[in-house]
Structure 1
Amino acid sequence: MAEFDRADVVIIGGGVVGCAIFRRLALAGLKPLLLEAGEDILSGASKGNSAILHTGFDAPPGSLEVVCMQAGYREYQAIRNRLNLPLVETGALVVAWNEEQLARLPAIVAQAHQNGVEDVTQISAEELRQREPQLAPHALGAVRVPGEHIIDPWSAPLAYALQGLAHGGRIRRGCTVSGGSFDGAWSLVTERGRITAGLVINAAGNFGDRVEAICRESPFKITPRKGQFVVFDKPAAQLVKSIILPVPTERTKGIVICRTAFGNLLVGPTAEDQETRDVAEVDEQALAMLIAKGQEMLPGLAEIGVNAVYAGLRPATQFKDYQISAQPERRWITVGGIRSTGLTAALGIAGQVGDLVAQHFHPMEESAPTWTPVPNLCEERPRPYQIGGEIVCHCEWVTRGEIEAALTGPLPAGDVGGLKRRTRAMMGRCQGFYCSAQVAAIAEGRITL
């Protein structure tokens, strides 16, 4: 325990935002300590999303969200090759399916241009059919967004965490923060004892308002917004080239059709507010709606089976914008209300936090980076099975070597979910029916399956 009982900076929450902040502060030499309640990073909101790298074309103009998204987009592009992170360059189409939606397309283009995304244009129904001939014929037109792309949602935060570790940061998993007191420094109460912190950063996602209450009466309330997804089998990915976006509403971006970096095609999400913060269940009625909606927009899906279903929770608040602020007199930084755009914005959010740290708490002097590339999981790039090795998961072509590697190193998988996110094992058609026993044998004594 002594090794972990004191840190200059403690980050609460090991989702993609917490991992990006951890990386940024470690690169600046601050030796942060990241605390995650789950047994592995990405155990909360960050484990389930649509994995799109957003341009910010449809974000509220002038918002902190669009600033962070666009900064995160630029930094991801700048560092991805050195971290071995994929980018599937698809572009996106915001498709109008009725006259009312068609009438809203010029405003979407105007908003994109206001946000500095100048290559966004409106296209006709004829051009839309040329670009995406498999779409249903009642599509009336679209807005083309060339810069929207697909990424791997799990490898990026893992790379951020590993780079933070390489620069002297520490990560403690299975460490829920339940309280704390402040007397010039923070004494945080965790299930594994007290931790003294000179500065606390709250990046606790769906529990952000409860963690905020340790410092002050929370100015925001988290109401988790559940998004359910349907993942169609591999042949479905051949039906579209672009990300197919809906015309958004005030409440949600709507239902998306897009390929995944892993060679599938997903349809979703729903948008359902709920009180439960740590359980996201799927239900047959919503999944049937998604399947029907997907087939309505992309009729070829009627001939293709569903590979998997999942649900994620987004930490929605009563505010539309991110809640990022510093409480200098309490040595506390708040990072709350980071919803579905958090994967793209994470590096930009980390930049905002770094600026707050430099302004109020510590100088930020970034050192020469040690690069920590992660294994490739993207289907469009070479994977280990192509050069040999024993295949354990035949649905997703995962080798024994990949599983062994995920269970070792500076941040080995902490639970079965972490192992899946690091390798894709047990995430294919059979959902582990054929390979789980062999995976369990390999992982025996290291994690519980």
Structure 2
Amino acid sequence: MLHAQARPTPAPSLQEMFDVAIIGAGVVGCALARRFALAGAKVVLVEKGSDILSGASKANSAILHTGFDAPPGSLELELVKAGRAEYLDIRDSLGLPLVTTGALVCAWNEAEAAKLEAIAAQGRDNGVAGLRLLNAHEARAGMPALSPRLVAAIEVEGEHIIDPWSAPLAYLTQAVALGARFLRRAELIEGRFGGDWTLATSAGELRARAVVNAAGLYGDEVDRRLGFAPEFEIRPRKGQFVVLDKAAFPHVPRIVLPVPTEITKGVVVCPTAFGNVLIGPTAEEQEDRTRATVETDTLRALLKRGAEIVPALEGVPVTAVYAGLRPASEEKGYRIFARPESRAITLGGIRSTGLSAALGLAQHALQLHAAFEGPPLAPVGAPAVHLPNLAETRERDWQQPDHGEIVCHCELVTRREIEAAFESAVPPGDFGGLRRRTRAGMGRCQGFYCNARLAEMTRGRLAEPLAVGEDEEPGRS
């Protein structure tokens, strides 16, 4: 029998009217729920998966971007900067970390070096401060482990690392504290507009005055189900990543960025908030929107590239590998559409900068919504929300004298942290959600030693029970 906090959320009565229904509980959907709830709206967040971040948002490089390399004058630039500014403004109150690494855009040959001045000029035109051209000696002075093959670099002071999973959880937790509803396992089947919206989902019907499509990899399909002719086409782009053991961390104090191409930002070597080093992603277009496989040859190529950039990484053990899908479209920019006549907004094509831009996208959506007919919203105060810290740069629960049982010894996760996750306002709905909330099972052994204990502790609490030894979603440490 399920514990009370893990039972599927009952569908709202058809008579219950929401001001805004948000489709998709990725990082953008969670940010939307928070922003509209703070504006005084009655919000429902609808997700077909068992938990938040079940789609594209669960796999990313966790960089808080400055927008230095965003298209000049673009909406993406505007929203990345707005989202970054709001994150920096609210992170302390929500208990969210910031690892102030800075970044180096590295040129490994003369052709790449010739592009650095233009990249720096574009960044300055984009209003980003703290950009400095460095010769190889200057760059390696701040990061001695860089390969001596380095030709030149740009220092970008403001590029930093965050916890990519706690941030959206904090956004939704704050929304729920303001009365927002979160419906899991509720795939949108059809939407009908007749003055208000009636949304048929796999968990029942609900009604809303307005709808926001933040469905990520299914953004074009959700528009179809809402009755719109899609104005964009999602073309999934797979990115594979390698996560190196914590022994790599001292060698990579900064984010190492490549000189980008027209197609991709390229392979990044960067630290994580959890004390590891990440290498990736690749950029591979595919048709499948649900399955992102990892290939041995590609992973080997990533390891080789990482060691070419930072030779000290050669031979460092791999902790985990994973692959994610980005909701790319046929155009490079964000695909945002407002339909005032039917009180609908679509936020599509939100690719690699979605984590940074999420709060800015939510601000923008609220501005678009203000033009819709309907009762005015009355903003409310932000409730106090403070998430447990998972970052290695701040004190963790295991460092408290009364921490109790350590369940996951690789990542030093306490029983108290696991219990707190299930008792929280937005408890995990599946094992992936528990891992992202606590880091249990995401360390060197990838759950080999703690899965049995975790299966015992989570019995009856998850949509699908944890089978010991199962090939769960690859973890990023």
Normalised by the length of structure 1, the TM-score is 0.98
Q: Equivalent residues in 2 for 1:303-314 (5 A)?
A: 303-314=315-326
Cα shift at 1:365: 3.4
Q: Equivalent residues in 2 for 1:117-266 (5 A)?
A: 117-213=128-224, 214-266=226-278
2:12–2:206 contact (8 Å) kept in structure 1: no
Pair 1:276–1:306, CA change in 2 (3 A): same
**Match of 2:324, as an amino acid?**
G
**Aligned partner of 1:415 among 415, 430, 434:** 430
**Aligned partner of 2:78 among 54, 59, 67:** 67
| In the alignment, structure 1 residue 27 sits paired with structure 2 residue 42 | no
C-alpha separation between the residues in 2 aligned to 1:385 and 1:411? 22
Q: Deviations over 1:331-387 (max 9, x none)?
A: 211111100100000000000001011122453432211021111000010001011
Residue of structure 1 in register with 2:20 after alignment: 9
Cα shift at 1:3: 3.1
Residue of structure 2 in register with 1:381 after alignment: 394
SS of the equivalent of 2:120 reads helix
C-alpha separation between the residues in 1 aligned to 2:128 and 2:373? 34
Residue of structure 2 in register with 1:438 after alignment: 453
**Match of 1:98, as an amino acid?**
N
**Aligned partner of 2:345 among 333, 340, 347:** 333
Q: Equivalent residues in 2 for 1:39-78 (5 A)?
A: 39-78=50-89
Residue of structure 1 in register with 2:442 after alignment: 427
C-alpha separation between the residues in 1 aligned to 2:446 and 2:315? 21
Q: Equivalent residues in 2 for 1:86-97 (5 A)?
A: 86-97=97-108
Q: Deviations over 1:270-309 (max 9, x none)?
A: 0001111111111111101101100111111113111100
Residue of structure 2 in register with 1:287 after alignment: 299
2:11–2:206 contact (8 Å) kept in structure 1: no
Cα shift at 1:54: 0.3
Please tell me the root mean square deviation across aligned C-alpha atoms, in Å. Answer: 1.0
In structure 2, list runs of 5 or more residues that go unmatched: 1-9, 467-477
Q: Deviations over 1:21-57 (max 9, x none)?
A: 0000001111110001110000000000000000000
Q: Deviations over 1:89-140 (max 9, x none)?
A: 0000000001110000000000001100132111111101211111111000
2:11–2:205 contact (8 Å) kept in structure 1: no
Residue of structure 2 in register with 1:372 after alignment: 385
SS of the equivalent of 1:414 reads coil
1:87–1:149 contact (8 Å) kept in structure 2: yes
Residue of structure 2 in register with 1:299 after alignment: 311
**Match of 1:408, as an amino acid?**
E
**Aligned partner of 2:333 among 305, 321, 327:** 321
Cα shift at 1:69: 0.3
The number of equivalent residue pairs is 449
SS of the equivalent of 2:45 reads strand
1:258–1:267 contact (8 Å) kept in structure 2: yes
C-alpha separation between the residues in 2 aligned to 1:71 and 1:371? 22
Q: Deviations over 1:74-94 (max 9, x none)?
A: 000000000000000000000
SS of the equivalent of 1:237 reads helix
Tell me whether 362-371 or 374-383 shows the greater mean CA deviation: 362-371
Identity %: 56
1:178–1:190 contact (8 Å) kept in structure 2: yes
Cα shift at 1:2: 6.0
1:215–1:330 contact (8 Å) kept in structure 2: no
SS of the equivalent of 1:171 reads strand
**Match of 2:383, as an amino acid?**
T
| In the alignment, structure 1 residue 114 sits paired with structure 2 residue 125 | yes
Cα shift at 1:197: 1.8
Q: Deviations over 1:162-184 (max 9, x none)?
A: 00001111100111002122211
**Match of 1:257, as an amino acid?**
V
Cα shift at 1:19: 0.3
C-alpha separation between the residues in 2 aligned to 1:242 and 1:136? 14
**Match of 2:434, as an amino acid?**
L
Pair 1:164–1:4, CA change in 2 (3 A): farther
List structure 1 runs of 4+ shifted beyond 6 angstroms.
none
Residue of structure 1 in register with 2:367 after alignment: 355
SS of the equivalent of 1:303 reads coil
Residue of structure 1 in register with 2:414 after alignment: 399
C-alpha separation between the residues in 2 aligned to 1:194 and 1:164? 21
1:354–1:364 contact (8 Å) kept in structure 2: no
C-alpha separation between the residues in 2 aligned to 1:65 and 1:322? 6
2:58–2:324 contact (8 Å) kept in structure 1: yes
1:407–1:443 contact (8 Å) kept in structure 2: no
Tell me whether 343-352 or 187-196 shows the greater mean CA deviation: 187-196
SS of the equivalent of 1:253 reads coil
2:186–2:202 contact (8 Å) kept in structure 1: yes
C-alpha separation between the residues in 2 aligned to 1:295 and 1:423? 30
